[in-house]
Amino acid sequence: MSIEAVAFDAEAALAEAKALLDNRRFHEADAILTAVLAREPHNMGALMNKLFMCAETGLWRDGIDAALELADHCSFEHGHINGLWIRQTCGENRLKRAPARVASRHLAGGRSPGAGYPSSLPIFDTRSATLDDMITALDDYGCLVMRNAIPREAALALQPLVRQTFIDCDLALAANDAGLPMARTAYFSFLDAATTPKALKMFRSFGSVPMLLAPSATNEFARQIHNSRITELAEAFLGSEPWIGSVKSSVRQSDITADVRRVFHQDATFFGGDGTATINFWVALSDAGIDRPGIEILPQKLNTELVRGQVGATVGWEVFEETIAELFGLDKLWAPPVEPGDAIVFDQMNVHRTYLTDGMIDTRFAIEAWMFPARPKYSQYGLIKI
């Protein structure tokens, strides 16, 4: 059967393409699928076959685009779940190749001394800031603020996806408590076998759901930062193509009544300390730091982990406020107010905590994305393609 004969008969075309895919005749199958999609751009069957073919042949970006097209026009649930699956499969495939390069700053003992407390706080408008200036700020102070890291309207559009993620997560946990299966939706799907329901409840209690369990919000966030200043900065800082660690990264809905862990800490505690190549982008989806909880950070680069988990600590990774006061002074802490689309950026040694005052009355929405190079040592963090 020729392509011309089936080009306008979608059902016959898909049957032909499926047979070719089953026999791994990808080029011929792709020609038929392309012909169908030229006639019917939102044909669900053609898009499903297209994305699976792309995953099989390593055409990851085409597969992701097909999945997002599916989510936008045909099947929101299948599109986003499969889009996240392709991003994850791409990460697993990348890890089978030669280890990614990393910048020397991330080799053990490779961190340069910091520049002390900044004379002016490192705040950059990404529409005009130079890459060199932002890299210098990270090297000198271990943190910075990116204004307009993603468009404001894109950040606000992500907010309802995060809200629905938490609604569906709560329904899934309630079902699990009742001995029932945890339902899969485009917003929440229990896709990580390493995260137990008990661990998920802990994350949920302080306003966090791992990105690997939040397909729609994760896909939409990745779509917004693809080829953005965020990925440009991450690649320059890491010295390698950046990948989101979807198990350590999260979508966040911080209610002021939640069990918020408002303690100072360094994420190096969870990432292996010195010699770890990573950078965090905490992207605001709502205002934060005035009427809603924010982030309080120490704008001073550290090369060591501070003493933590002392007697009386709330959690084992807590660094006492008294330690910060003695070493640096509490007047050096910085709680930058941010707007939707702004990002607070810091490395794993940075000291920070949730910033919450009595005057804050509203819920905060954000996405926290830890990025790594695709090296086997970071496979445990669930690397996914941006």
CA dihedral angle for residue 66, residue 70, residue 71, residue 77, rounded to 10 degrees: -110
Give CA–CA dist 77/172, Å, rounded.
Answer: 15
Q: What's the confidence (pLDDT) of residue 316? A: 57
> Over the stretch 376-386, which tens digit does the pLDDT of each residue have?
999 999 999 99
Which one has a higher pLDDT value, 62 or 8? 62
Q: 3-state DSSP call for residue 299? A: coil
**Average pLDDT of the residues in 161-174:** 97
- Model pLDDT, residue 374: 96
Please answer whether residues 278 and 348 qualify as being in contact, where contact means their C-beta atoms are separated by less than 8 angstroms.
Answer: yes
User: Which one of 110-124, 229-243, 321-335 scores highest in mean pLDDT?
Assistant: 229-243
For domain 3-95, the CATH class is mainly alpha
The share of the chain scoring above pLDDT 90, in percent, equals 78
Model confidence over 114-131: pLDDT tens digits?
999 999 999 999 999 999
Question: How far apart (Å, rounded) are the C-alpha atoms in residues 186 and 173?
Answer: 16
One-letter identity of residue 33: L
CATH class, 104-384 region: mainly beta
Could you give the CA distance from residue 127 to residue 99 in angstroms, rounded to a whole number? 33
Position 359 pLDDT exceeds 90: no
367 in Cβ contact with 158 (< 8 Å): yes
Compare 132 and 308 and report the one with higher pLDDT.
132
In the predicted structure, residue 318 carries a pLDDT above the cut 70: yes
Question: What band does 244 get if pLDDT is binned at 50, 70 and 90?
Answer: very high
Domain ranges of the chain: 3-95, 104-384
Amino acid at 224: Q
Q: How far is CA 213 from CA 2, 77, 89, 266, in A?
A: 42, 13, 15, 24
* Strand spans (E) along the chain: 123-125, 143-147, 208-210, 242-245, 250-254, 265-266, 279-284, 294-297, 343-346, 351-355, 364-373, 383-384
**Distance in angstroms (rounded) separating the CA atoms of residues 284 and 48:** 33
Give the pLDDT band of residue 6 (cuts 50, 70, 90). Answer: very low
Surface-to-core class of residue 2, CB atoms within 10 Å of its CB (0-12 exposed, 13-18 middle, 19+ buried): exposed
At residue 195, does pLDDT exceed 90?
no
Tell me which residue has tokens 């009355």: 361
User: Residue 67: which pLDDT band, with cuts at 50, 70 and 90?
Assistant: very high
Average pLDDT, the chain: 92
How far is residue 238's CA from residue 124's CA, in Å, rounded to a whole number? 19
